[in-house]
Amino acid sequence: MDLHPFENALLELTVGPGTYDRVLARVEALRRSIVEVSNRAVWMRGIRRVAREETAGAVCSVRGTEWPEGEKASAKTSTA
């Protein structure tokens, strides 16, 4: 990371040379890991929601009735 020469010298005197860059790299790796896990969780939640809607539609079609549009819309919002 490009720091002002004063900040760079201060970091080298306080924590040692290269420590800041190593810590910054670890923080960046942790941030990327958190983003990846959260994206995976959002993706899985979307799959579960679609599966629930398909299951509800299948149950409704087995009964020989159509899924009412009003109920379908409220089912989508209630499973969020």
Distance from C-alpha of 34 to C-alpha of 53, rounded to nearest angstrom: 29
Pick the more confident residue, 8 or 56: 8
Instruction: Return d(Cα 34, Cα 42) in angstroms, integer.
Output: 12
- Look at 27 and 70; give whichever has higher pLDDT: 27
- The residue whose two tokens read 């009412």 is 68
pLDDT in tens, 29-78: 999 999 999 888 888 887 777 777 766 665 555 555 555 555 544 455 54
pTM of the model: 0.52
Give residue 69's domain range: 5-78
Count the domains in the chain.
Answer: 1
Residues 6+ apart with CB under 8 A from 66: 60
Give the per-residue pLDDT at 3. Answer: 87
pLDDT over 70 at 27, yes or no: yes
Which DSSP category does 1 fall into?
Answer: -
